[in-house]
Amino acid sequence: MRNLILPFILLLMFVFSCRENDIDEGLEQKNASYDIYVAGRENNKACFWKNTIKTDLSNGDGIGTINIKVENNDVYVTGATLPNTANNGIEYFWKNNVRTTVKQYLNIPNNVQYYIKSFTVSNGDIYFSGYVENPATTSAFDKFEMCFWKNGVKTILYKSQYYTSAESIMIDGSDVYISTAKVDNTQNVEYGYFKNTIFTSIPSTYVYNFAKNSTGTHLLYQNNFKYYSKNINTNTDTLIGDYNHPVHVLGKIISHNANNDLYTIQSSSSGFYFKNNLQTIPTFSTLPYIQDMFILDNNIYMIKYNNNLYPDPNNPNMTYNGKLFINGVESQNITSISNAGSGYYSTGTFNSIYVVEN
pLDDT block averages, 10 residues each, the chain of length 358: 40 37 32 91 96 98 96 97 80 98 96 94 98 86 94 96 92 97 91 97 95 96 92 95 69 92 83 90 92 95 81 71 97 84 76 96
pLDDT in the model for residue 311:
59
Cis amide leading into 311 (omega within 30): no
The DSSP result for 309-355, as a single string, is SS--TTS--PEEEEEEEETTEEEEEEEEE--GGGTSS-SSEEEEEEE
The edge-to-edge listing of strands for the beta sheet with 252-255 is: 252-255, 262-265, 273-275, 278-280
Distance CA 16, CA 8 (A): 13
Distance CA 71, CA 148 (A): 20
The DSSP result for 95-112, as a single string, is ETTEEEEHHHHTTPPTT-
Q: Where are the domains of the chain?
A: 35-357
Give the CA distances from residue 219 to residues 32, 41, 136, 171, 180, in Å, rounded to whole numbers and listed in that order: 30, 30, 34, 13, 11
Distance CA 90, CA 106 (A): 12
Q: 2.40.30, 2.120.10, 2.60.40, 2.60.120: which CATH number matches 35-357?
A: 2.120.10
Distance CA 291, CA 269 (A): 8
Give 131: exposed, middle or buried? Use CB within 10 Å, 0-12, 13-18, 19+. buried
pLDDT in the model for residue 14:
39
pLDDT in the model for residue 246:
56
Distance CA 277, CA 263 (A): 8
Asked if 218 contacts 248 with a C-beta cutoff of 8 angstroms, the reply is no
Dmax of the chain from CA atoms? 105
Distance CA 83, CA 66 (A): 12
pLDDT in the model for residue 199:
96
Distance CA 345, CA 339 (A): 7
171 phi and psi angles, rounded to 5 deg = -110, 130
Distance CA 8, CA 181 (A): 78
Q: Burial letters for 75-110: b for 16+ Cβ neighbours within 10 Å, e otherwise?
A: bbbbbbebbebeebbbbbbbeeeebeebbebbebee
